[in-house]
Amino acid sequence: MTIEIRTVAPARLREWIDAIESASGDRVTDEAWPYVERCTEIDRVLGAYDGDRLVGGGAAFSYQLTVPGGHVAAAGVTAVGVMPTHRRRGTLRQLMAAQLADVRTRGEAVAMLWASEGSIYGRFGYGLATLNGRIEIERERATFASPATPRGSFRLIDRDEALELYPQVYDPICAATPGFFGRNRTWWENDVLPDLQSYRRGAGNKFYVVQERDGHAVAYVLYRVISEWGDVGSLSVLQVQELMALDADALRDTWQFVFGVDLIHRIRARVGPVDHPLLLMVSDPRRLALRVVDGLWLRIVDVEAALAARTYNGSGSIVLEVADGFMPELAGRWRLHVESGSATVTLTEDGPDLALDVADLGAIYLGAFSFAQLARAGRTRELTPGARAAADALFTTPTRPWCPQVF
């Protein structure tokens, strides 16, 4: 059986997504399809064809990814799947090769994705680049160590007003937090804010709340409620889908608002930074039941451009030898020379100080992991004594990376 990877014509886009969704036993509903279609970049949609029949494929979004001290053009890989009838035949490998070649042609330095299974994408050069925390707490246990009167006021708003106010909070946080990606108006309108019945999965409608201070939006929260009642009262669960705040006071106040919603038994938040500030705000952090899961997986496709796009700590120079088993033509040896945080990156024939796989570089790139941590896991090789510590001194970043949204 010969599988061919090629682009998908606009007229066959719905057929394509149905083939993708069959891989996970799901289906995009007629209600959701117009929103999916408006977000889809048709020229980035790849199909796996058995003859003329679509049997799988993948796509990507064009993002600006926040990295330490800057931004880099990134491909947000999404909707990857192969029909059950065509698995275990090398189709995914063909698809990944075609997609990464396209990413490089477009001049994007990195590709990133959320993995359906963590074991799948490491063999294609993706490294675990961010972690995400999930919290769950009983409402009666959700108390603060130092309660305070909110500095601002809260309003329930509709989707149209959220479209205008939420970016005022999100954009500054995005600009400062590695792992975030910029959201344009189309993304807000068709992915973040819609309240589709098919996306509720047993929960109720979406609530849009904004906190304002001196007439300006300083925080917001999106949430749903799974309503359930027992013999002695509410068993309902409030699901925080996204909560953003511009400063510590706004963050505390908005969580205090969430914890104060009546007739709720339990609060869940699906994603957040691992070093969640709530751990230091609540009176009993154990009750948050913090769970750490994998977040973004990142694949470097242009080492020089990726390393030059971010800033570093202090000054120094180090030679990295990067192996790439999936795209061996991208392997090489680079000198990273840093002056007062800014880097120049050049190919070199000088002896390497550190040797690592491209997946290891993806794990280090945003600052989620250090060279020392990778070494403890038996990854990377130190070829010059002290090089690992020197590299960690350069790569360290004060802000832990995380990504607020699965795409």
Active site members: 121, 407
Name the residue among 159, 143, 400, 174 with its Cα closest to residue 255.
Answer: 143
Residue 175, SS3? Answer: helix
Biggest CA pair distance of the chain: 73
Handedness of CA 366, 370, 375, 380 (dihedral sign): positive
Contact 293, 269 (CB under 8 A): no
Name the residue among 204, 196, 192, 184 with its Cα closest to residue 162.
Answer: 192
CA dihedral 394, 395, 396, 398 (to 10 degrees): 110
Instruction: Quickly list DSSP for 108-152.
Output: -SEEEEE-SSHHHHGGGT-EE--EEEEEEEEGGG--BSS----SS
Contact 351, 365 (CB under 8 A): no
| Alpha carbons 219 and 304: distance in angstroms, whole number | 37
